[in-house]
Amino acid sequence: PLNKDNMYQQAMLEASWRHMPHPSDSERLRHYLPRNPCPTPAYYHQT
């Protein structure tokens, strides 16, 4: 069964899930063509 620590871990995981890492967090800053994510139509090429 989950213990107190596990419950705390679950709560902290939940909180950090609200601000997940962003792809640009792992990339060098690009001044000229920075990422500007936006919802593009599903029928566009996604990769």
Q: What is the spatial distance between Cα 13 and Cα 7, in angstroms, rounded to a whole number?
A: 10
Binding string to other proteins for residues 1 to 40, with x set by CB under 8 A, is what? xxx-xx-xxxxxxxxxx-xxxxxxxxxxxxxxxxxxxxxx
How far apart are CB 12 and other proteins at their closest, in Å? 4
How many other C-beta atoms are found inside a 10 Å radius of the C-beta of residue 24? 13
How far apart are CB 10 and other proteins at their closest, in Å? 6
The residue type of 18 is R
Judge whether 34 and 25 are in contact, CB under 8 Å.
Answer: no
Where on the chain is the footprint of other proteins (CB under 8 A)?
Answer: 1-3, 5-6, 8-17, 19-41, 43-47
